[in-house]
Amino acid sequence: MRLCIADPPYPPMFAERRDDPEGPVRLTMRSRARRWYGDGPRSASDAAAADFHPEAGAWDDLTTHRQLLLQLVEDFDGWAIATTQDGLGAYHPLPVSARVMVWHKPNGIPGGGRILSRWEPVILYVPEGRRDRDGERVADVLTANPPARGFAGAKPAAWTRWVLAALGYQPDQDTLVDLFPGSGAVAAAADGLLL
């Protein structure tokens, strides 16, 4: 089977602002893609930078995320998409058999808002024929800290092994594609399953 893990630049953050208490509410957008992977503004306290991608700004368009979902449905038997809580809407409506799993990050990076974000959703589409109880049972929640250093957006090896187990990955039978290879963590964790 053809399986895919997609960890694209996350959708932008939207917020409602009222500059004047009597005035209208306006919608603002803050880029995550350009900030972490492009030419957007970054603060001195930001974690390590990822590789620069001149087309990073395309991921600030929600239709780019929808096109990714459609590509995965068309080209792969099973897949996973890493995103944010507020980014889930960029992928709706989901295929009927898709699931949302939770990566709980006890020491996740604090954001600028009142609510500390300690989890990220993973949209998962298990291949048909691997959705039954045969094989390893996988919880829909993983508690694992992000890597302490390195590539911005990198996932820990435990994350990759968890997603691959949920997909029913069989190294000797499946082709695995990492659409956004970044740090190479997905390939390294998948190679570790061959040992």
> Looking at the predicted structure, is the pLDDT value of residue 169 above 60?
yes
pLDDT value of residue 38: 66
> Looking at the predicted structure, is the pLDDT value of residue 42 above 60?
no
Higher-pLDDT residue of 170, 38: 170
Is residue 83 a contact partner of residue 90, using CB atoms and an 8 Å limit? yes
Please, which pLDDT band fits residue 20 given cuts at 50, 70 and 90?
A: confident
> Looking at the predicted structure, is the pLDDT value of residue 189 above 90?
no
* pTM for the model: 0.84
Neighbour tally for 163: CB within 10 Å: 26
CATH code, domain carrying 33? 3.40.50.150
Average pLDDT, integer, range 118-139: 90
Please, which pLDDT band fits residue 13 given cuts at 50, 70 and 90?
A: confident
Higher-pLDDT residue of 150, 89: 89
Per the structure, the complete domain to which residue 53 belongs is given by 2-192
With left for phi above 0 and alpha for psi between -120 and 50, is residue 157 left, alpha or beta?
alpha
Specify the number of domains making up the chain.
1
> Looking at the predicted structure, is the pLDDT value of residue 195 above 50?
no
pLDDT value of residue 151: 67
pLDDT tens for each residue of 50-77? 566 667 778 888 899 999 999 999 999 9
Average pLDDT, integer, range 115-124: 90
Q: In what order do the strands lie in the sheet with 119-125?
A: 141-143, 99-104, 119-125, 78-82, 2-6, 175-178
Across the chain, mean pLDDT equals 83
